[in-house]
A and B are shown apart, each in its own frame.
Chain A
Amino acid sequence: MTAHDITLHAPDDGIAEGAELLRVDDVTLRFGGVTAIEDVSFNINKGEIRAIIGPNGAGKTSMLNVINGFYHPQEGTITFRGEKRRAMKTYEAAASGIARTFQNVALFTGMSTLDNIMSGRSLKMNKSFLAQMIYFGPARDEEIEHRRKVEEIIDFLEIAHIRRQPVGKLPYGLQKRVELGRALALEPDLLLLDEPMAGMNLEEKEDMSRFIIEVNETFGTTIALIEHDMGVVMDLADRVVVLDYGKKIADGAPAEVQANQAVIDAYLGVPH
């Protein structure tokens, strides 16, 4: 191993490339009288980039929240790595290898880039709070090991120059990148990205697309992303699921979905 090798990769969970990693069956999510998601089923295969698209209010973010345990659906089941589950805490989802980023960046704005990404490793730290505080022996070795992983992420995302800067002062495009870094720090099996390119200019979008592809290829991480930029979706995604008013209206390869009349109607509107 040379000094610059990358040691980051998704955990080996015994699921073969292309086999089903996660399945959503007949999920319905209601908030009082409002049905956010209605009877939606689809799956995500190991190693693919799966896009979830749809007009505003279609239930895309709710869907991600269901997957990572933030919302608990009233009906339906979620199967992750072959295990059926219904209600799960978000930290349990994280511990099982599901990481995510948010539509509106949710970082610790007063902390540096480095500390933000380091916080993504906290689930992987085994030493006691006290040992970490004294910073001695095994706790120190552990910290060094985690720091190495974090530095790999910093190098990978090309954010070395902002390592020590508080993230609150960074431009939006960079904050998004730091947030991706924090999610990667978990070395996730499944990475959920909620509009990773919202509000970015063309160059930033191209950079972000490159990172997403590389995460997928180099680390072997499965990715589910919500995105509005159709060009990006068509380029990145292996398969696309389309939601409209909480219902699934199409599912398939990008080209198929693009040609689907129901999808075109959902986006452009039809006379009622």
Chain B
Amino acid sequence: MADGGRTLDTFPKFLLRNAQSFADRPAMRHKDYGIWQSWTWAELLVEIRNYSLGLQQLGLKRGDKVAVVGDNRPALYWTFCAVQALGGVPIPVYADSVADEMVYVLQHAEVRFAVAQDQEQVDKLLSIKEQLPQLEHVIYDESRGLRDYEHTNLHSIAHLQEQGAAQMPGAEKAWLAEIDKGAGGDLSVMLYTSGTTGKPKGVMLSFDNLVISSINANRFDSFDETDEIIAYLPLAWVGDHIFSYGQSMTAGYCVCCPESPETVTENRREIAPTYFFAPPRVFEGLLTDMMVRMEDAGPLKQKMFHFFLGVANRVGERILNKESGGSAMDRLLYRIGDVLVYGPLKNRLGMSRMKVGYTAGEAIGPEIFRFYRSLGLNLKQLYGQTEASVYVTAQPDGEISADTVGTPSPDVEIEIADNGEVLYRSPGVFMGYYKNEEATRDTKSEDGWVKTGDAGFIDTDGHLRIIDRAKDVGKLNNGSMFPPKYIENKLKFFPNIKEAVAIGHGRDYCAVMLNIDLSPVANWAERNNIAYGSYQELANHPKVYEMMAQHVDQVNQDLASEERVAGAQVHRFLVLHKELDADDGELTRTMKVRRSLINERYEPLIEALYDGSTEKFVETEVTFEDGRKGKISATVKIEDAKVYATEAMKEAAE
């Protein structure tokens, strides 16, 4: 692609194009003081250019690394482009990481500059500054509370922009020349994977990786400058970088930043994005909230709601997939339901204009997936990785199923290795891990094939199915297969269960530790007059155990019906006395379970699951958000679950 003699191969070049081609179209919105403020592409160029010139004056040079810490705020997205225009490399960091976690990334990446959202993040950076000799300047967006700080090496973005503006128009030519020096093969961004094991690794992505992947994705779902998205996922996550930055820059669509992380749902309703991405837990959360609220609605509304959901369940997906079938009566009722129930519901969810919604990252419950699709929402699944610039496979319109992740995305090749591991090769494949040749070699072959670490297979329709992490699939002592995540996901599909950890590799049977999901369980407790004083007390309540036992029983019945995994039925379970928490390192920042660490921390409980005891006293260390540590102790009950004979065994017995 070329534009005014410029090859469009870096994001700053796309910015220049957008400022011309879509000059008066909205590029960004941000809710501030209760009002949606917006910038057109032409205005965005000015903001970014002035910021960039300010950074240049501060000494930012080609190749410099710039950490970006904070929530989804416009100025932080500008930072990406302002830095890239000068040939620097932005490194977004998870905003909720505690100072110690941040030290490693900032040291490893050798950042010279750090851009922080607010006082909280600035304080965090200043507290670790001594361990970061390379860090020279800290730059912030929100000035609140920072007035009295020593400002020698601390600058506000607004101030840098003023300084940049003062250099205009004289500096413009040199700035454009600096942009033209950038090429597609250059390092564009470094994203540290939170990694379920070991230290985070810096994934280096080039402009080519991101630009080509973004353009392909835009074409796949036909996005253009008229689309809108709400940016609410962590900046440091590759998905947000592609959806809210890469695809916006290349397609020219508008990115909306919420007022605060707490107002995302409300802001989404106001904006009604046309493109929406969320991990399954967000869809689960929305559904749970909705169901909880419906419990409080009047009887007429409840009746109507459930009646029309039934109709949607029968014909909704067929209508969406443009398939025939379903009675004419149901089809007529569906139209009525669209006016009375589905429409208002979609409006409430902020999905009334949604063209495409994606879910990825974890398996989504089939019921949840079907629920959204039956309302007429085009929710699809994709499978991606940081190392692939997101896209590996995605479901094309009309070929949707809850248990596949789709066909290879444009330009992506897929192979299944002999051990069942999924391999891919694409233009989006990363350059390598920063300063980690060994890990790069382990993951990426000479000819560009990347190991996903996931076990899967391609079904008869050419769709990829993922079973589990390749290294996590284990064996019980009796030789039967033990896929922990498969079992955990089945458990987590119950709204009352927030997290589950299955144990069984190298043991006699499978056992699970559960986390209740506080909001539905608390609501249930309230309706059933169950009194409790704390999370711990509720989790340990006999009635809650009864409920959990039913869920486990249901999962066992499911497992028994599937021959390959029938041996992995849950024999014993317990409900944990505390929520698994990323601050304690039990979950990754993207909320995935860290097995090895959990095995270590809860060793006494795991032993108790296998030694036949019915309760166990434990003491667990917890970390508060500010880094202080404390201890909580509890007596955790352990219960047996009923195990079912498989179909094959039943037949043998007869």
Contacts and interface: CB of A to CB of B under 8 A. Distances in A.
Interface of A: 2-4, 147-148, 151-152, 154-156, 158, 160-161, 163-164, 210, 214, 217-218
18 contacts: A2-B158, A4-B32, A4-B33, A147-B34, A151-B34, A151-B35, A152-B33, A155-B32, A156-B144, A158-B260, A160-B34, A160-B259, A161-B262, A163-B34, A210-B145, A214-B144, A214-B145, A217-B148
A147 B34 CA distance: 9
A176 to B, nearest CB: 18
B57 interface: no
Contacts of B37: 3
Given A2-B158, A214-B145, A161 B260 contact: yes
Interface string B118-146: 00000000000000000000000010110
For the complex, would chain A's binding face be called helix, strand, loop or mixed by DSSP majority?
A: helix
B263 interface: yes
A224 B652 CA distance: 83
A210 B123 CA distance: 14
Given A2-B158, A217-B147, A218-B147, A155 B33 contact: yes
Nearest to B258: A160
Nearest to A163: B34
Interface in B235-290: 259-260, 262-263, 266
Given A2-B158, A217-B147, A154 B260 contact: no
A164 B266 CA distance: 10
Interface of B: 32-35, 37, 142, 144-145, 147-148, 158, 259-260, 262-263, 266
A157 to B, nearest CB: 11
B479 to A, nearest CB: 51
B263 to A, nearest CB: 5
A160 B263 contact: yes
A160 B147 contact: no
Contacts of A4: 32-33, 142
Contacts of B158: 2
B483 to A, nearest CB: 39
A210 B146 CA distance: 13
Given A155-B33, A161-B260, 15 more contacts: A3-B32, A3-B37, A4-B33, A4-B142, A148-B33, A151-B35, A154-B34, A156-B144, A160-B34, A160-B262, A161-B259, A161-B263, A163-B34, A217-B147, A218-B147
Contacts of A210: 145
Nearest to A164: B266
Contacts of B33: 3-4, 148, 151-152, 154-155
Contacts of B142: 4
Contacts of A155: 32-33
Contacts of A151: 33-35
- Name, among A3, A4, A152, the residue most crowded by chain B CB atoms within 10 Å (CB to CB): A4
A34 B67 CA distance: 65
A3 B263 CA distance: 20
A164 B262 CA distance: 13
Nearest to B142: A4
Contacts of B259: 160-161
A116 B311 CA distance: 43
B50 to A, nearest CB: 12
- Name, among B33, B37, B262, the residue most crowded by chain A CB atoms within 10 Å (CB to CB): B33
A239 to B, nearest CB: 21
Contacts of B263: 160-161
Contacts of B266: 161, 164
